[in-house]
Amino acid sequence: MLEVDVTTSLGALTISAAIRADSGITAIFGPSGAGKTTLVNMLAGLHRPEQGRIMVGGKVLFDSQQQIDLPPEQRRLGYVFQESRLFPHMTVADNLSYGRRLVPKGVAGADYDAVVGLLALTPLLDRRPKTLSGGERQRVAIGRALLAAPRLLLMDEPLANLDVPRRAEILPFIESLRREFGLSIIYVSHNMDEIVRLADQLVVMAEGAVVAQGPMAEITARLDLRPLTGRWDAGAVLSTKVAAQDERDQLTRLSFQGGDLWLPRLDLAIGAPLQIRVRARDVSLALTAPEDISVLNVFAGEVMEVGEDDGPQVDVLVDIGSRLWARITKRSQRELAILPGRKVHVLIKAMAVDRSGLG
Amino acid sequence: MLSPLEIEALSLSLKVSLWAVAWSLVPGVAIAWLLARREFPGKALLDGIVHLPLVLPPVALGYLLLVLFGRHGPVGAWLHDWFGLNLVFSWRGAAVAAAVMAFPLLVRAVRLSMEAVDQRLETAARTLGAKPARVFFTITLPLTSPGILTGVLLAFIRCLGEFGATITFAANVPGETRTLPLALYTALQVPDGEASATRLAVISVVLAIAALVASQYLARQVARRIGLA
Half-sphere CA count of A89, side-chain side, radius 13 A: 19
Higher pLDDT: B59 or A268? It is B59
Q: Which of B126, B143, B226 sits opposite A73 (nearest CB)?
A: B126
CB contact under 8 Å between A73 and B121, yes or no, is no
Q: What long-range pairs does B215-220 form, CB within 8 A, spacing at least 24?
A: B215/B149, B215/B150, B215/B153, B215/B154, B215/B157, B218/B149, B218/B153, B219/B146, B219/B149, B219/B150, B219/B153
Q: Is the pLDDT of residue A309 over 90?
A: no
- B120, B123, B128: best mutation site toward chain A, by most A Cβ within 10 Å? B128
Contacts of B120 in chain A (CB under 8 A): 81, 83, 85
- Tell me which of A100-109, A206-215, A303-312, B208-217 is least confident: A303-312
Task: Provide the percentage of residues in chain A whose pLDDT is more than 90.
Answer: 43
CB contact under 8 Å between B127 and A73, yes or no, is yes
Coil vs helix vs strand at A313:
strand
A47-104, pLDDT tens digit by residue?
999 999 999 988 999 999 999 999 999 999 999 999 999 999 999 999 999 999 999 8
CA distance B63 to chain A (A): 45
Residue A105 contacts B where some CB pair is shorter than 8 Å: no
Please work out, in degrees rounded to the nearest 5, the angle formed at the alpha carbon of residue A1 by the alpha carbons of A41 and A145.
50
CB contact under 8 Å between B228 and A85, yes or no, is no
Between CA A347 and CA A345 the distance in angstroms is 7
pLDDT of residue B228: 65
Between CA B83 and CA A126 the distance in angstroms is 52
CA distance B120 to chain A (A): 7
Between CA A191 and CA A175 the distance in angstroms is 16
CB contact under 8 Å between A72 and B121, yes or no, is no
Between CA A228 and CA A356 the distance in angstroms is 21
Mean pLDDT of B79-84: 85
Query: Is this complex's ipTM strictly greater than 0.85?
Result: no
Between CA A29 and CA A181 the distance in angstroms is 24
A154-191, pLDDT tens digit by residue?
999 999 888 888 888 888 888 888 778 888 999 999 88
Coil vs helix vs strand at B102:
helix
Q: Which of A45, A71, A88 sits opposite B228 (nearest CB)?
A: A88
**Cβ neighbour number for residue A200 with a 10 Å cutoff:** 18
The amino acid at residue B199 is R
Q: Is the pLDDT of residue A41 over 70?
A: yes
Where are the strands (E) in chain A, listed by range?
Answer: 2-10, 13-21, 25-29, 51-56, 59-63, 68-69, 77-80, 152-156, 185-189, 201-206, 209-215, 235-246, 251-256, 259-264, 273-279, 283-286, 297-306, 313-319, 323-329, 343-348
Please work out, in degrees rounded to the nearest 5, the angle formed at the alpha carbon of residue A185 by the alpha carbons of A119 and A141.
40
Between CA A283 and CA A303 the distance in angstroms is 13
Between CA A74 and CA A238 the distance in angstroms is 39
- Report chain A's mean pLDDT, rounded to a whole number: 87
Q: What is the pTM of this model?
A: 0.81
- B113, B127, B140: best mutation site toward chain A, by most A Cβ within 10 Å? B127
Q: Is the pLDDT of residue A44 over 60?
A: yes
CB contact under 8 Å between B126 and A72, yes or no, is yes
Higher pLDDT: A73 or A309? It is A73
Q: Search chain B and give the residue with CA nearest A86.
A: B121
CB contact under 8 Å between A99 and B129, yes or no, is yes
Mean pLDDT of B113-141: 95
- Cα dihedral B85, B88, B92, B93, rounded to 10, equals 130
Mean pLDDT of B109-121: 94
pLDDT of residue A354: 56
The amino acid at residue B205 is V
Q: Are B194 and B185 a contacting pair, CB within 8 Å?
A: no
